[in-house]
Amino acid sequence: MRTQIVVIGGGPSGLLLGQLLHRAGIDAVVLERKTRDYVLGRIRAGVLETGLVKLMEEAGVADRLHAEGFVHDGTQIAVGDQMFHVDFKALTGTPVIVYGQTEVTRDLYDAREAAGAPTIFEVEDVVIHDADGDHPHVTFTRHGHAQRIDCDFVAGCDGFHGVSRQAIPLDVRREYEKIYPFGWLGVLSETPPVHDELIYANSDRGFALCSMRNENLSRYYIQCALSESTSDWSDDAFWQELRRRIPSDVAERLVTGPTIEKSIAPLRSFVTEPMRWGRLFLVGDAAHIVPPTGAKGLNTAASDVHYLFEGLRQFYADGDSEDIDRYSEKALLRVWKAERFSWWFSSLLHVYPHMSPFDLKMQQAEIAFLRDNDAQQRAFAENYVGLPY
C-alpha cells in the first residue's frame, strides 16, 4: 500500500491532522493500536482554546462543539475560603470552550468515517523505516498479518508511550523532564456542576479542581499521593475530601452522587527536541507532556497539528519545504511557553512535600499578586485562553 502521510496514532492529534489533510486533498492513513471504543472511553481534557476550535472548524467538525460546548468567559481561583474571578473575555477578548476530549475525538472519528478516509485499528509492532531517507515506510501487524505502507512523510501522533519518539536516534534526541511528587485523582459524576465556571482551588490539604462536561455531568479532581490507587478512594471519601478543599459556601452547594469513572494521573513535564527527524514529525503527547493544571495538553497538541498541517499543505501545493523545515522550531517555541505556564500554575496551587514556611508564604504572595494585579491577571488570561499560533 502507498499513501502520502502515515499518521501513527488515532488520538486527537492524529485524527485532527488526518481530517485537515483530507480536506486539503492530501491522502493519509491513520494507524491506531486500540479499538475506536477504547480510544473513546478515555476521559481526559475538557477545556478547548479558540485556536483548537478554529482548527475544528477548518476540519469541518465544529457543529456539535458549537451547539453543545459551554463558552466560559473566565475562571474562578479559590484559596482556602476565598475565591476570585479572572475574566478572560474582558482581559483578552477571548473565552475558552468547555467540551470534552472524548467528544472532540468522537466528532473526528465520525467525520473520518463519513469521508471514507482509512483508519486501521488494532495495529501492533509498528516500525518506522528510513525516516532519514527520501522513501520512508511503516510496517506493522494486524491480527497476525504483516503489512507495509510506503509514504512521503510519517506523523508520529502516538502519545507519550508510542514508538515514534523512540525512532529518533538517541544521539539526535534531547529530553527534558520533571516528575511531580503527586498525582490527580479524577472522577466523573452525573450531577450538576457546582459552579458555572471552573474552580481551581488551593487549600492546605492540596489542590482541587471543579470542572464539568454538561449540565448534568461534572468532572472533579483532587491532588493525591502517587502511592494511592483508586481503590483507596470510596465515592464518599472523595466527596468529603473535595468539600474540605473548596470554599465552604461552594462545598455546601456541591451535589454528590455515584461516580461513573475514577482514575489517577501522574503529573509530568516533558519535552523532546527536535520534533522532526528527516521525514518523521512528532506531534502532541509523542513530543511533550504538561501537568494538567491549566488544560494545555490537548491544546498544545493542536498547535503542533496547525504548524505541521500548514507545512505539509505548502509542500504539496508548491514544493516549498520551508515550513516543514521550520516545524520543530516553530512548534517548540510555543510548546515551551505552554510548559512554563503549566509548571507555574501547578506550582501556584499544589501542596508540595517538604514545603518550608517560606515556600508557603511565596505561594500565598504569588496568588495574592494574581488576585490584585491587572498585568498579572492579563498574563494569566493570555496563557490560559492560548497564546497565538
Residues assigned a catalytic role: 72, 200, 292, 296, 384
Q: What are the distances in angstroms from CA 218 to CA 44, 209, 275, 287, 303?
A: 13, 11, 36, 30, 27
CB of 207 to ligand FAD, least distance (A): 13
Which among ligand FAD, ligand DHB, none contacts residue 385 (Cβ within 5 to 8 A by kind)?
none
- Residue among 47, 97, 154, 387 that touches ligand DHB (CB under 6 A): 47
Binding partner of residue 34 among ligand DHB, ligand FAD, none, CB under 5 to 8 Å per kind? ligand FAD
Query: How far apart, in whole angstroms, are the C-alpha atoms of residue 349 and residue 45?
Result: 18
H or E segment at 273? strand 259-273
Strand partners, 128: 138
CB-based burial, 217-231: b 16+ in 10 Å, e otherwise: ebbbbbbbeeeeebe
Query: Which residues from 277-296 bind ligand DHB, rule CB under 6 A?
Result: 292-295
Residue 293 binds: one of ligand FAD, ligand DHB, none (C-beta under 5 to 8 A by kind): ligand DHB
* 339 sits in which H/E element: helix 327-349
Q: How far is the CB of 53 from ligand DHB (least distance, A)?
A: 15
Interface ranges with ligand FAD (CB under 6 A)? 8-14, 31-34, 39, 44-45, 101, 123, 126, 157-159, 162-163, 265, 284-285, 292, 295-298, 301
Looking up cell 479499538 gives 35
Distance CA(297)–CA(268), nearest Å, equals 11
Q: How far is the CB of 56 from ligand FAD (least distance, A)?
A: 14
Report how far residue 213's alpha carbon sits from residue 83's, in angstroms, rounded to the nearest whole number.
22
Nearer to ligand FAD, 204 or 261 (CB): 261
163 binds, options ligand FAD, ligand DHB, none, Cβ within 5 to 8 A by partner type: ligand FAD
Kind plus residue range of the DSSP H or E element containing 209: strand 208-214
x-or-dash pattern for ligand DHB, window 195-224, by CB under 6 A? ---x----------x-x-------x-----
- Contact residues for ligand DHB, defined by CB under 6 A: 45-47, 198, 209, 211, 219, 292-295
